[in-house]
């Protein structure tokens, strides 16, 4: 009995120490940078750093194409890095871009190695076929509400350090462009001093950049309700089903 109680005490101590270690690791803040490109087509990129350069996650999305995800650990390349999307080759937005944050430096360093890398044709075909079936599930009010709730929870708990907008925006109507400009100057005047407005023509050539940090432990509690919501569960279930059918067809073709 004494040996059993001692063994249980040791196990409880070990479990407690492991839990404390996990909580400590998950309490190390993540730093993130998100860029939204208001262009044609719409583009979005994001990079997440954890514990300096130990962990780097990159994301890129171009409207109408499959998202690209990249993961690095201790500078060892696990997948090909993210290529920074262009807005316009002649745009002042690119010429005057002077980013100095550590996240941007890491992102540019990993981008430089794979700007000419080709996408896998088979994987692109698979994603495009699945994307057609998922489009109605992604473009609906229920899923949009869950995404907005997730963004709201993350912004509420995260520490947003910077938010800037630069480039040129023109809605095509002087009246509507003026309303947009007035609203932005009234709400975030310090963030849009590099943003210009075209009151005469329609022009979409702007970039929104935000950066900050968030604790992974809090992020988990924000993401779990999103993942287990009904619209997201429906998307995951459909994606797994379609992916399994595609792989089964591909195996049948290979065997034949």
Q: How many CA atoms lie within 13 A of 182 on its CB side?
A: 6
Per-residue pLDDT in tens (0 to 9) along the chain, 256 residues: 667 777 888 889 999 999 999 988 888 888 888 899 988 888 999 988 887 667 788 889 888 788 888 887 765 444 444 444 444 444 444 444 444 445 555 555 545 544 444 444 455 555 555 666 677 877 778 888 888 888 788 778 777 788 889 999 998 888 889 998 998 888 888 888 889 999 988 888 999 998 888 888 888 888 999 999 998 998 888 888 876 655 555 556 555 5
User: For residue 208, what are the β-bridge partners?
Assistant: 36, 165
Rounded Cα distance, 41 and 62, in Å: 7
Q: Which residue has the tokens 């040996």?
A: 3
Q: What is the pLDDT of residue 236?
A: 87
Report yes or no: 207 and 35 within 8 Å, Cβ to Cβ: yes
State the DSSP string of 76-108.
EESSPPPPPPPS-TT-HHHHT----SHHHHHHH
């Amino acid at each position: 009995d004494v040996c059993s109680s001692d063994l249980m005490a040791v196990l409880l101590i070990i479990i407690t120490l492991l839990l404390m270690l996990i909580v400590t690791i998950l309490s190390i803040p993540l730093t993130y940078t998100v860029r939204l490109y208001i262009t044609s087509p719409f583009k979005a990129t994001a990079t997440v750093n954890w514990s300096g350069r130990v962990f780097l996650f990159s994301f890129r999305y171009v409207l109408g194409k499959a998202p690209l995800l990249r993961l690095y650990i201790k500078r060892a390349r696990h997948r090909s890095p993210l290529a920074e999307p262009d807005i316009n080759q002649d745009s002042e937005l690119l010429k005057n871009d002077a980013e100095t944050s550590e996240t941007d430096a890491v992102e540019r360093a990993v981008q430089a190695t794979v700007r000419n890398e080709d996408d896998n044709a088979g994987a692109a075909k698979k994603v495009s076929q699945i994307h057609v079936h998922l489009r109605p599930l992604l473009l609906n009010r229920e899923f949009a509400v869950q995404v907005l709730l997730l963004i709201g929870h993350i912004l509420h708990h995260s520490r947003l350090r910077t938010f800037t907008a630069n480039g040129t925006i023109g809605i095509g109507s002087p009246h509507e462009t003026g309303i947009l400009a007035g609203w932005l100057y009234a709400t975030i005047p310090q963030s849009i001093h590099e943003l210009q407005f075209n009151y005469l023509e329609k022009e979409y050539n702007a970039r929104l950049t935000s950066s900050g940090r968030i604790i992974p432990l809090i992020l988990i509690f924000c993401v779990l309700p999103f993942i287990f919501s009904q619209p997201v569960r429906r998307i995951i279930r459909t994606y797994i089903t379609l992916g399994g059918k595609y792989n089964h067809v591909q195996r049948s073709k290979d065997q034949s």
